[in-house]
Amino acid sequence: MAAASPVEETAPLGPVPQGAYLNQMLVVETALEPEALLAALLEVERGEGRVRDVRWGPRTLDCDIVLWEGRTVGTPALSVPHPELARRDFWLRELAALGIVPGAAGW
């Protein structure tokens, strides 16, 4: 891991009643391509007990690829930058804590 934002407690998103979440943004360096990294992250989620049975429902862990330095991705499985980035204030705060400005040079 190259850097980590502070952990932030946030209200849940979506229509399913549930408790607050802990969120954190990580900057990582990887030799993986974006879809291979996504597959690895989904495996981490499964290993931590995540079951994807209710959309927007409670979850033990949720790993997203939000930005990829110098790249955009648009495949059926993955969109980078994340399409919800501009609407998630906690992501924008966490990126700012890391000194990353979406849309700035390289991002």
**Cβ 4 vs Cβ 26: under 8 Å:** yes
pLDDT recorded at residue 106: 79
Domain annotation for the chain: domains and CATH numbers: 3-11+22-97 (3.30.70.560)
Map residue 52 onto helix, strand or coil. Answer: coil
Average pLDDT over residues 41-53: 94
Of 64, 88, 89, 93, the active-site residue reads 64
64 annotated active-site: yes
* pLDDT tens digits, 11-44: 998 899 999 999 999 999 999 999 999 999 999 9
Does residue 50 carry a catalytic annotation? yes
88 assigned to active site? no
> Is 62 annotated in the active site?
yes
Question: Tokens 């995540």 map to which residue?
Answer: 50
Q: Which of 46, 52, 55, 62 is catalytic?
A: 62
Q: What is the C-alpha to C-alpha distance for residues 21 and 23, in angstroms, rounded to an integer?
A: 6
